[in-house]
Structure 1
Amino acid sequence: MSDRRNGDVAVVTGAASGIGAATARLLADRGWRVVLADVQGEQVEELAWRIGPAARALRVDVAREEDVSAAVDLAVEAFGRLDLMFANAGVFGAYGPVHTADMAAVDTTWAINLRGVFLSMKHAARVMRPRGSGVIVATTSPAAVVGGVGNHAYSAAKAGILGLMRSVAGELRPHGIRVNAVMPGPTATPMNADLATGDATAIERTVELLKSRTDGKRPAFAEDIAEAVAFLASPAAEMITAHTLVVDGGFTAIPGDSRWTKGENAAGGAIFEAGRRAT
């Protein structure tokens, strides 16, 4: 089956860099038409120019309903339809101990990371329901399910996305609309480069730092996550909804190699009641 989707239309939020930009480029390469939405207006305009006639750009603050609505309207006005909403925009946001939390920063984190996803789903559904088809994908994080990975506000928002995704999937399934989430693990993106090194452009250094934390295994790249989003938007995923696709090289489910298969345990054996051992 060809992976080209000539004529299909996507809105990608957080499209100026990282996972959003990689997804926009991949979709365009495969025949999609894309609306690139990001609060970084100049950067998203430049990316749209590089992609060419199949792209439109719009400065969008996903916490503002009128901005998100405008991005969806642009897709319909420019390209006639909306087939995929990729609710990807997010920030690391407020960090620090819970007892000293700056609630204004926490509220802003939630407004971008969770309200923005809610608004993306709302306005995608507004135009997808009459057509009886469409796909919505939201970006979550291992911080949604593993403590200590992200800050408190970020973790709460990313966990909220999972509940929201399943709830909206239940509503929209009878209307032919699938709703899923993608969960990237450690990924070499500008945001993670800034967190790891203080320099958003230091991607190669970030790759090496992430490798050092994962026993030399490479981290994900933005293109890996883009492939996952493209799959979820494709006919091959027609039976997949209310699902979280984890793209993390085992980071979430495999916190470490099993000590029961190597070293002194490599020869095998068994442990029974009261520590009785057999070989």
Structure 2
Amino acid sequence: MDGTFVRTDVTVEDDVAALFSAAYDTYGSVDVAFNNAGISPPDDDSILDTGLDAWWRVQQVNLTSVFLCCKTVIPYMQRQGKGSIINTASFVAVMGAATSQISYSASKGGVLSMSRELGVQFAREGIRVNALCPGPVNTPLLQELFASDPARAARRLVHVPLGRFAQPEEIAAAVAFLASDDSSFMTASTFLVDGGISGAYVTPE
């Protein structure tokens, strides 16, 4: 597959600037930004057990990186009069969980709120900003959770009405939709792709 790879620490402002500069210099425009970096380390747990180091590390990767990427890419999109930004939040941004990851949840709530505000602020300039809110996705991170704590993983799975976790390709299809002109009348949106979790009171037996 053709493409350009730019090694980037998305928590470092100069790295982010170099990333979007390389994209613009290579392709002549920056039409889409998909801001998807995120971590969920085991030391991010209940508020009673999570230390400040864990709190700040998650905030930096999950929330500050989105701030830096949006701040850097929006001027490119302003000059060309169009663009689509997709920021990965999470279904936990709209729900509470007793199995808490306090910094992760707070960071994703921040991504959701920031995306909504930017979507409104820059709408008249042709720039759309939407928050993608996936449910649990069958990725190595989730597989590690299954391996290390099957009971905790099973407790999460029971709340998914569709009875399974998402496949990465299903989330990629949602990103492609939000990036495309098919979603041209969508901005400041909370786009849930969560298998029905956020709409469920009880799930089928």
**Is the TM value for this pair above 0.5?**
yes
**Which residue matches 1:111?**
60
**Which residue matches 1:222?**
168
**Which residue matches 1:183?**
133
CA-atom RMSD in angstroms: 2.4
> Residue 247 of structure 1 aligns to which amino acid in structure 2?
V
Structure with a larger share of its residues in strand: 1
Deviation at 1:198, TM superposition (A): 4.1
- Report the TM-score, using the length of structure 1 for normalisation: 0.66
**Which residue matches 1:151?**
101
Structure 2 unaligned spans of 5+: none
Compared with structure 1, are the counterparts of its residues 128 and 155 closer, same or farther at alpha carbon in structure 2 (3 Å cutoff)? Answer: same
CA contact (8 A) 2:162 2:195 kept: no
Deviation at 1:255, TM superposition (A): 3.8
Compared with structure 1, are the counterparts of its residues 126 and 212 closer, same or farther at alpha carbon in structure 2 (3 Å cutoff)? Answer: closer
Deviation at 1:166, TM superposition (A): 1.0
**Which residue matches 2:7?**
59
Answer with 1 or 2: which has the greater Rg: 1
Aligned residues: 200
Deviation per CA, 1:174-225: give whole Å up to 9, x if none. Answer: 11000001111121011111222249xxxxx9xx969963477232101101
- Report the TM-score, using the length of structure 2 for normalisation: 0.89
CA contact (8 A) 1:140 1:161 kept: yes
**Which residue matches 1:251?**
197
> Residue 91 of structure 1 aligns to which amino acid in structure 2?
I
Q: For 1:68 and 1:210, how far apart are their aligned partners in 2?
A: 37
Q: Give the secondary-structure state (helix, strand or coil) at the position aligned to 1:98.
A: coil
> Residue 235 of structure 1 aligns to which amino acid in structure 2?
D
Corresponding residue to 1:83 among 31, 36, 40: 31
Q: For 1:67 and 1:118, how far apart are their aligned partners in 2?
A: 13
Which structure has the higher relative contact order (CA within 8 Å, separation 6+)? Answer: 2
> Residue 50 of structure 2 aligns to which amino acid in structure 1?
A
CA contact (8 A) 1:210 1:219 kept: no
Q: Give the secondary-structure state (helix, strand or coil) at the position aligned to 2:95.
A: coil
| 1:74 pairs with 2:22 | yes
Q: Give the secondary-structure state (helix, strand or coil) at the position aligned to 1:193.
A: helix
CA contact (8 A) 1:211 1:218 kept: no
Q: Give the secondary-structure state (helix, strand or coil) at the position aligned to 1:180.
A: strand
CA contact (8 A) 2:46 2:100 kept: no
Matches within 5 A, 1:162-177: 162-177=112-127
Q: Give the secondary-structure state (helix, strand or coil) at the position aligned to 1:138.
A: strand
Deviation per CA, 1:240-273: give whole Å up to 9, x if none. Answer: 00001111110111142379xxxxxxxxxxxxxx
Deviation per CA, 1:125-145: give whole Å up to 9, x if none. Answer: 021111000000011112112
CA contact (8 A) 1:183 1:245 kept: yes
- Over the matched positions of the two proteins, sequence identity in percent amounts to 34
Q: For 2:120 and 2:108, how far apart are their aligned partners in 1?
A: 19
Compared with structure 1, are the counterparts of its residues 56 and 209 closer, same or farther at alpha carbon in structure 2 (3 Å cutoff)? Answer: farther
CA contact (8 A) 2:157 2:165 kept: no
Q: Give the secondary-structure state (helix, strand or coil) at the position aligned to 2:199.
A: coil
Deviation at 1:96, TM superposition (A): 3.0
Q: Give the secondary-structure state (helix, strand or coil) at the position aligned to 2:4.
A: strand
> Residue 59 of structure 1 aligns to which amino acid in structure 2?
R
